[in-house]
A and B are shown apart, each in its own frame.
Chain A
Amino acid sequence: MKTSRMFPDQSAVKARHAVLIAGSQRDRLTTIGVLAGIVGMAVLAIFQLEFSLARLGSGIVQLGTFLGLMVPPSPGTQLYALLKALAETVAIAFLGTLLAAILAFPLGFLAARNTMANTIVRFTTRRFSDSIRGIDTLIWALIWINVVGLGPFAGVLAIMTSDIGSFSKLYSEAIEAVDRKPGEGVISTGGSKLHAIRFGIVPQVMPVLISQTLYYFESNTRSATIIGIVGAGGIGLYLAETIRTYEWDNVAFIILMILGTVALIDLASSRLRMAIVGKRSTEV
């Protein structure tokens, strides 16, 4: 019979590959277990957080109304103020990123295994930057407002603080990934440890550090758009205000402005990164 030649006897195949089949069954049980865990957790969360279909439904209807009111986007009467706030936002992101990069530069060396032999210093630096990163930019903004008062300066300091944590981690990873040979070469010609860092490591890591910093500049522009919500300068203040007063056409206009600015900065920073690193990044 034709089919039997194409599909050999199932039980014979099963007997021959008993081990493989049993193995795949164990995998299947693990999969079911993991899936059950994920779904169970989700169900628990849905109950705990009081999701209800009625609420979701009415919310979606409301959202639809808002979306309708958003067309056409309009700046209202405050186009000039909005542009000024947007410039402020970009300035906050720029200064915050730059200051963070400058301050995190030495921290990166203190946290890298190949430049800091002392475990205690390294450990302390790492935990320090972990703790800073554990606190969101918005929280830092609130804290800095208590120190320097409301306004964009608090925003600069907030972006700076939260980025110091991220930068010192990224920088230390880049420093740990360098080729050791140039540094050894400097030492072998009689250079000190500092010389080895300056002439053996810095030239290798600089392009990486600059490109990471530029990448963060773009993402910080996004963060800078929201710190205005708590009063730390920038366009966020207007955004929160117009949402709270239901001026949806203004909301849409502000969001479009933000999207445009972020796209522009993304373009500029990827151009610069390409020029500095000399190769195309994978950003699309």
Chain B
Amino acid sequence: MASVIPRLTDAQLKTLSAGYVSEQAAKKRITLIGLAVLAVLCIVAGRVAEVDIAKFLANLPKFTDYFGRLFYLDTGKHVFTDVTEWFWGLGKWTSRLWDTLLIAYLGTLFGAIGGFFLCFAASVNLATGKPQLFFARRFLEFCRTVPEIVFALIFVVAFGLGPVPGVLAIMIHTVGALGKLFAEVVENIDMKPVEGAIASGATRWQVIRYAVVPQVLSNFASYALLRFEINVRGASVMGFVGAGGIGADLIEAIRKFYYSDVSAILLLVIGTVIIIDMVTERIRNQLISTEHSK
């Protein structure tokens, strides 16, 4: 039986396979050049960052040793043998953790409010003009590029030690981060309700209230919740610079080598973060499903 599969002639095959080989070679060449550049960058960066592999390897046992030691009490007993001794400061730590959560909450709330009022100026379709768009975007960029802990350092000097500078620092960072995300949501809305509202004589904020907010609210809420998760992590280190929350106890325990305290506090922080993640994820899924059912 004659073959039903059409075959190319040898001459055709030759040019095609030569093309394939040269294409593959070109691809390989680009990959190799990329890897070479990466290697050079690595060596330069390694020099600058004082990477010392020998020292690292020599000290690596210390790392595992450190983690091992986190689980032994001062008395030399394993922490699980005496959990009450391990979590001796549970009352104090949970109250500090509660403070941390409240710092994250207030920072997220105020930041979301600020982001809400700025996002319309930073979105192409609702900004009143080029200058407004430009300044709103640069402002939001500034807010989110300066790390929150830097704001916290400055605010601690201005407002004094305690949770207040922590809240303000998280708030400013959140304004920047959420303002940008909110603006992106606003840029994707359906403009017909906006035109309708303008046609019936609505003012700018009436347009936003009746034509924009109903379209974006669930997305805004979902992003704000996601930010809350991130801010809980951020708030847990605010205490490092004196801006309130559990961070103060943690840095003290690490610096003074109170090993079992470090592990106890870290476990509390991780547990809290995971619980918050789970709760907010559930709420966000619900928000998304109500959005889709509309």
Contacts and interface: CB of A to CB of B under 8 A. Distances in A.
A binds B: yes
Interface residues of B, number: 65
A139 interface: yes
A91 B251 contact: no
Interface string B35-67: 000100110111111111001100110110010
Contact of B49 (A45, A152, A244): A152
A88 interface: yes
B141 to A, nearest CB: 8
B159 A55 contact: yes
B274 interface: yes
Interface in A5-60: 38, 41-42, 44-46, 48-51, 55-56, 59-60
Interface in B100-158: 102-103, 105-106, 109, 137, 142, 145-147, 149-150, 153-155, 157-158
Given A229-B240, A258-B146, A153 B56 contact: yes
Interface stretch (A116-124, A142-150, A180-188, A193-201): A142-150
Contacts of A179: none
Describe A's contact surface by its main secondary structure: helix
A66 B158 CA distance: 8
A94 interface: yes
Contacts of B257: 146
B266 to A, nearest CB: 7
Contact of B153 (A87, A144, A233, A239): A239
A142 to B, nearest CB: 5
Contacts of B106: 42, 45-46, 49
B269 interface: yes
A103 to B, nearest CB: 14
Interface size class of A (residues with CB under 8 A): 35 or more
B42 A225 contact: no
A153 B105 contact: no
A41 to B, nearest CB: 6
Contacts of A131: 270
A149 B59 CA distance: 9
Nearest to B46: A95
Interface string A123-138: 0000000110011101
Interface of B: 38, 41-42, 44-52, 55-56, 59-60, 62-63, 66, 98-99, 102-103, 105-106, 109, 137, 142, 145-147, 149-150, 153-155, 157-160, 162-165, 167, 180, 184, 233-234, 236-237, 240-241, 244, 250-251, 254-255, 257, 266, 269-270, 273-274, 277
21 contacts: A46-B106, A48-B99, A49-B162, A51-B164, A51-B167, A59-B160, A95-B49, A98-B38, A130-B274, A131-B270, A136-B236, A138-B240, A139-B236, A139-B254, A142-B254, A142-B255, A143-B66, A143-B254, A146-B66, A146-B254, A149-B59
The 9 closest A-B pairs by CB, nearest first: A59-B159, A91-B45, A91-B48, A134-B270, A45-B102, A62-B158, A49-B163, A91-B49, A152-B49
Interface of A: 38, 41-42, 44-46, 48-51, 55-56, 59-60, 62-63, 66, 87-88, 90-92, 94-95, 98, 130-131, 134-136, 138-139, 142-144, 146-149, 151-153, 155-157, 222-223, 225-226, 229-230, 233, 239-240, 243-244, 246, 251, 255, 258-259, 262-263, 282, 284
